[in-house]
Amino acid sequence: MIAPVKSLVGPTNLFPKPISNCQFSGAVVSFDQGFGPKQGLKQNKLLVCHRGEKMEVIRKLSRGCFMDNRKKEKKVEVESVHGGEDIFDAEKNMSQAHLVIMVNGIVGSAADWRYAAEQFVKKLPDKVIVHRSECNYSKLTFDGVDRMGERLAGEVLDVVKRWPEVRKISFVAHSLGGLVARYAIGRLYELFPKMETTGLSGNCSSREHLNKLTQHPEQHFGARIAGLEPMNFVTFATPHLGSRGHRQLPFLCGLPFLERSAPQTAHLIVGRSGKHLFLTDNDEGKPPLLVQMVNDSNDVKFMSALRSFKRRVAYANANYDYVVGWRTSSIRRQHELPKSNLLVKDEKYPHVVYVERESTKKIHNGTSSMVGKQASDLEEEMVRGLTQVPWERVDVSFHESKQRYIAHNTIQVKSYWLNSDGADVVLHMIDNFLL
């Protein structure tokens, strides 16, 4: 007889655990306890210790409190640690906390998500702990999606150990960080038994039950990411289909000769990441990494991990993003992009112009306009693979904004002083976050 009981056994398909091996450049980060020069409060600093050319961040030596002037007595605590910063409400009971991992894009850092992280904690003070990752920053973002993904996976495991009370996990990533996060969750994916066998006697019965578990694992096991329940997987301006193809890298202006030469030279500028983005990597004769990532492999369950999240959301710039094209960031074919007459303006979120609720795209025989048949085939393969799972798509336009020419950074409010018009997009994400 099989009875549902709390399992005492561990995950059944654990892959070798990623190990955090990030190397950090030296820096001093300080946080004022209060806003304004008249507060007269002491500054807390994150100390950095130098040993020759190696620099090591001293753990947990920095704690600062930000006072929110709009809400009296509201305290947001920032804990600077090895591999980023944890941001949380200092006064709330975090027994059922939801961990949100925020991942920066190419040549970025943890600072890129500062505004969004603070808004998360202010609006959901008793719900979330936000971790701004910093294991992939600056030139480390040239190392390739796989190496960056391994580092992120190791960092996430470290964060989970630091917060044993958390039960749920979500990822919010910008640009290249979305691909890195997709790789990392594949490494962190595992299945935990939902039930165990009781009352079975004899080896034959045990083997029969084991065969049932093997044949239909989804019925008997629950998916976990780093041991936590996966909730939201959200990307902002992420090149899910890579950057190779017609107008996938908009600043090339769609000129064929530039789009043909870019894949051959990208690695000279952004290293292995360039090879991955332009689908020119063929390690050990394997398909390009981004193509591999639209299916499960023997050791990394890319799509099973993505499928395990309750929501998958792709925020995309419909125009003025000169780094990532609309098609690749929204995971659509050219003819599937919303027509201009369908784009509307929301009073609460003025820059959110189109929302496509969760859906799985049907397979089409047609392909989008590309440079070369091989690129066309690869893009179609990635679209088909990624749309095996439902996605929500949120299209954004800064057409009437003075900050439209830096839309790639404005969509995430990388710097509030330069990208403040994207605040409504961040608010839209938080208001629709599944807790």
Angle (CA) 290 292 294, round 5° = 80
Which tokens go with 434? Answer: 């599944």
Q: Residue 19 domain-assigned? A: no
Q: Give the end of a domain, one of 59, 79, 99.
A: 59
The structure's pTM equals 0.79
Does residue 257 share a domain with residue 357? yes
Residue 8 or residue 159, greater confidence? 159
Residue 397 pLDDT exceeds 50? yes
Q: Residue 279 domain-assigned? A: yes
- pLDDT category at 29 given cuts 50, 70, 90 is very low
Domain containing residue 186: 68-196+217-431
Place of tokens 């950095």: 48
pLDDT digits (tens, 9 = 90+) for 43-90: 333 333 333 344 343 333 333 333 344 444 456 777 766 567 888 877
Does residue 320 share a domain with residue 425? yes
Does residue 305 share a domain with residue 241? yes
- CA–CA distance, 5 with 405 (Å, rounded to integer): 56
Which tokens go with 133? Answer: 């990752």
Q: Give the end of a domain, one of 59, 79, 97.
A: 59
- CA–CA distance, 132 with 76 (Å, rounded to integer): 14
Instruction: Specify which residues 64 forms β-bridges with.
Output: 78
Which tokens go with 221? Answer: 């096991």
At position 107, the amino acid (one-letter code) is V
- pLDDT category at 166 given cuts 50, 70, 90 is very high
- CA–CA distance, 174 with 120 (Å, rounded to integer): 16
- CA–CA distance, 389 with 403 (Å, rounded to integer): 34
Is the CB of residue 158 less than 8 Å from the CB of residue 133?
A: no
Does residue 89 share a domain with residue 54? no
Out of 146-150, 216-220, 255-259, pick the least confident.
255-259
Q: In terms of Cα–Cα distance, which of 139, 161, 162, 143 is closest to 151?
A: 143
Q: Residue 212 domain-assigned? A: no
353 HSE (CA, 13 A, CB side)? 20
Which tokens go with 212? Answer: 């049932």
Which tokens go with 265? Answer: 């030279």
Does residue 131 share a domain with residue 221? yes
pLDDT digits (tens, 9 = 90+) for 341-370: 888 888 999 999 999 998 665 544 444 444
- CA–CA distance, 110 with 131 (Å, rounded to integer): 9
Structural domains of the chain, count: 2
Does residue 126 share a domain with residue 37? no
Which tokens go with 298? Answer: 């023997």
Note the pLDDT of residue 155.
Answer: 97
- pLDDT category at 16 given cuts 50, 70, 90 is low
Question: Of all residues in the chain, what percent carry a pLDDT higher than 70?
Answer: 67
Is the CB of residue 245 less than 8 Å from the CB of residue 375?
A: yes
Average pLDDT, the chain: 79
